[in-house]
Structure 1
Amino acid sequence: MRRDDPAPRVREVARPTSDPSRARSRTVGRVKQAATVTFAFAASVSFLLVNIVDPYSGATASSTYTPVDRFGGQAVQEYAVDGDIAAAAVAAEGYLVEKKPEPEPEPAGAGWAPPAVVPDPGSAQAYAAGAVAARGWPSSEFDCLVALWNKESGWRVNAMNPSSGAYGIPQALPGSKMATAGADWATNAATQVEWGLGYIQGRYGTPCGAWAHSQSVGWY
């Protein structure tokens, strides 16, 4: 090269300009990738939390599962309640509250006293055995009747409750109710037994039904 030659020219190469659409595509890809990683992390944490906090989540019932019997095999559960309420019977479909009957005043007056009569529990029970059989009830119903009236009056024709005024073998309240079975209700055991069996049949169905109620709430 000669010294008087002009200086060599440097060739300039134009740099390619960046494509905006490509830059945008790369940015969106990075955002999507970050979102995917974040979602996967959150799902993993949620799964761990659910299984740690609630280990039974997603559990299914066993094919051998047996429902718990809360009523002891009975359709209704009955409870004794103090006060004016006699009993509360609770069943799966509802409940029934029974109020104690209001005592009625004795028509004979507060000074009325049982007549002078000698009770004969054995004869009263013998009559009752025939009356129970006449109603078509089995001997087991008579056994329930014996237990019930042993508790109520000891089968004494002149038994009287001094606090309530209940009277006679079936402890009618008031005793004069038994007049529907006979005018000699105060002294005749047969009259009292017939009235008492009619009362039991109308209210409880059988003597065993009345005895079960008495055992549950203390009266019938």
Structure 2
Amino acid sequence: MSVSFIRRIASPKKALTTAAVAAATAGLALTAAPAQAATSSASSTQAIAHRMIPDAAQFNAFSRIVEHESGWNPSATNSASGAYGLVQALPASKMSSAGADWKTNPATQIKWGLDYMNSRYGSPVKAWNFWQANGWY
């Protein structure tokens, strides 16, 4: 193994360590972990939805709505309206019909949202078509 190869591997680590020391000295903290946790949380929530909505077209439509409404954050809250969760239910408590754990369980929110889209629009695809035309669903 060449020394230059080792330097290429070590340099980013050294730079990160130097940045961490400088940040700590200045009283700051490097916080890469929460962003990473949020990403893995969103991807695991998407995986739950994909299992619950196996049809690709329906899942893609559901996913587009959720991405616009909450960014796949099951705790997303609209401060102006009080809409809550992945699908921004209003009032949020409507999701209790899908389960008592609606505030914290993405699967419960997905179930409620899917039921809502199916009953009101006929399917997630039709709900997405409405959303595109109106900017809400």
1:17 matched residue in structure 2: none
Aligned to 2:128: 211
1:191 matched to 2:112? The reply is no
**Cross-structure match for 2:63:** 146
Per-residue CA deviation, residues 125-180 of structure 1 (Å, 9 max, x unaligned), is 111111112xxxx3111111111110000010100011111000011001111111
**Structure 2: gaps (5+ residues):** 1-36
**Mapping of residues 61-210 of structure 1, within 5 Å:** 120-133=41-54, 138-210=55-127
Point out the structure with max Rg over C-alpha.
1
**2: CA distance, partners of 1:122 / 1:174:** 26
Q: Looking at secondary structure, tell me which structure has more strand per residue.
A: 1
CA distance in 1 between counterparts of 2:94 and 2:42 reads: 21
Q: Distance in 2 between matches of 1:123 and 1:174?
A: 25
Amino acid at match of 1:190: A
Q: State the Cα deviation string for residues 179-211 of structure 1 (Å, max 9, x = none).
A: 111111111101100000000000111111111
User: TM-score scaled by structure 2?
Assistant: 0.69
- What SS is found at the alignment partner of 1:140? helix
Consecutive unaligned residues in structure 1, runs of 5 or more: 1-117
Amino acid paired to 2:97: T
Letter in 1 for 2:107: A
Distance 2:96 2:74 in 1: 14
Q: Could you say which structure has the greater relative contact order, defined with CA pairs below 8 angstroms and 6 or more residues apart?
A: 2
Measured in 2, the distance between the counterparts of 1:171 and 1:200 equals 12
Identity %: 47
Could you list the structure 1 runs, at least 4 aligned residues long, displaced by more than 4 angstroms after superposition.
none
**Matched AA of 1:169:** L
What SS does the corresponding residue of 1:156 show, helix, strand or coil? coil
Q: Distance in 2 between matches of 1:146 and 1:198?
A: 14
- Whole-angstrom distance in 2 between the partners of 1:196 and 1:140: 16
TM-score by length of 1: 0.44
State how far apart, in whole Å, the 1-side matches of 2:102 and 2:62 are. Answer: 19
